[in-house]
Amino acid sequence: MRAAVLIKNGSAFKAFELREVPIPLVKQGQVLIKVVAFGLNFADVMARKGMYKEAPPLPAILGYDVAGIIEEIGQGVLNVKKGDRVTAMTRFGGYAEYAVTNASAVAAIPDELDAATATALTTQYCTALYAAAEMVNLHKGNTILVQSGAGGVGTALIQYALHKQCEIFATAGSETKINYLSEIGVHHPVNYITQDFETVAKKITNQKGIDVIFDAVGGKSVKKGIRLLAPGGRIVCYGASALTNKNIFGKIKTALDFGFYHPAMLMMPSKSIIGINMLKIADHQPQVIERTLTEVMKLYSAGIFVPQIAKVFLGTAIDEAHEYLENRKSIGKVVVQW
């Protein structure tokens, strides 16, 4: 089978090589999927740059989400069968014509749902739903801030928050993305290039602050976010895009910009910091992934989740797809098809 193999860390245009590799073997409780499309996530960019410690050693096949057709099922698999159209989360290995994953991370998809759109409903929408529904339990009247609101997870968080009748602030770095945020229902879009989100949010909330912040940026964004939280507020951290495109000194500065927090500093104002790594959840609580993916598909069927596809690339253009995502040109999900 063909696979886009990461052979070296660094620039997208020097990092990948299209190779013929063996089709992976299926173990008990797993399925083999003939991949039609796979999705890109910002963690892929960080892995390519050698900044993601969970990534496998080189040469490696990256990829967290795929959509395609079940080719083979392992012993004990009951939720899907050979020939089913599915979307799935993978623990790497998605950048290939065939991928193996645990059956608990697979969901059947309806005929009308195309493979490209289906990839958006896995890692990104599961991350959003797990964060918003299980970690903080959003409800009517909450005031929330979504950093990087025009991305795949950001879009999913906004759609869920609208469903829960929250007041929504969201940030983006271009007028095109700000217009997109307005179009999908964000009440207070903030251009982080020209505006300070902390100042804007404090003014609009009359200094009350924000109930829940979803942060995939990291660094000083987290420090400012904690200051912005209202009493009882929570900040959910699920990424650190601020670390990209920086030398070692810049990375150290960004790490320090997160700040250091003694429990008493959080306890007295009743503020919380929550971290999410879906790989760790999948490793230790696979039933959570299964439950969340099932609920994501229900919310899609109900019209609450509406994935936004930024652009679809061919498998031979994986370098272009990575560059497009890394340079923050995308609105929604970046997808690659074979």
Q: Show the CA angle centred on residue 263, arms to residues 257 and 264, nearest 5°.
A: 110
Which segments in the chain show pLDDT lower than 70? 240-262, 264
E strand or H helix that includes residue 333: strand 333-337
Burial of 295 (0-12, 13-18, 19+ CB in 10 A): middle
Q: Decide: 128 and 239 in contact? Cβ < 8 Å.
A: no
Nearest by Cα to 41 from 54, 28, 29: 54
For residue 156, give both structure tokens.
């999913």
Task: Report the C-alpha gap between 316 and 336 in whole angstroms.
Answer: 9
Q: Decide: 89 and 39 in contact? Cβ < 8 Å.
A: no
Q: In what order do the strands lie in the sheet with 188-191?
A: 188-191, 167-172, 143-146, 210-215, 229-237, 272-275
Q: Mark out the alpha helices in 67-218 (DSSP H runs).
A: 115-120, 123-129, 152-163, 175-183, 197-204
For residue 315, give both structure tokens.
């498998």
pTM as predicted: 0.90
For residue 242, give both structure tokens.
């601020």
Q: Decide: 66 and 336 in contact? Cβ < 8 Å.
A: no
For residue 221, give both structure tokens.
């964004």
Tokens 């290939």 correspond to 96
Task: Report the C-alpha gap between 316 and 115 in whole angstroms.
Answer: 18
pLDDT of residue 249: 40
pLDDT of residue 222: 86
pLDDT of residue 296: 97
For the chain, give the percent of residues with pLDDT over 70.
93
Task: Report the C-alpha gap between 100 and 121 in whole angstroms.
Answer: 18
Please report the domains of the chain, with CATH numbers, ordered by start residue: 2-121+307-337 (3.90.180.10), 125-278 (3.40.50.720)
Q: How many residues in total does the chain contain?
A: 338
- Say which DSSP state 242 is in: G
pLDDT of residue 265: 74
Nearest by Cα to 293 from 161, 157, 105: 105
pLDDT of residue 52: 84
Task: Report the C-alpha gap between 130 and 294 in whole angstroms.
Answer: 12
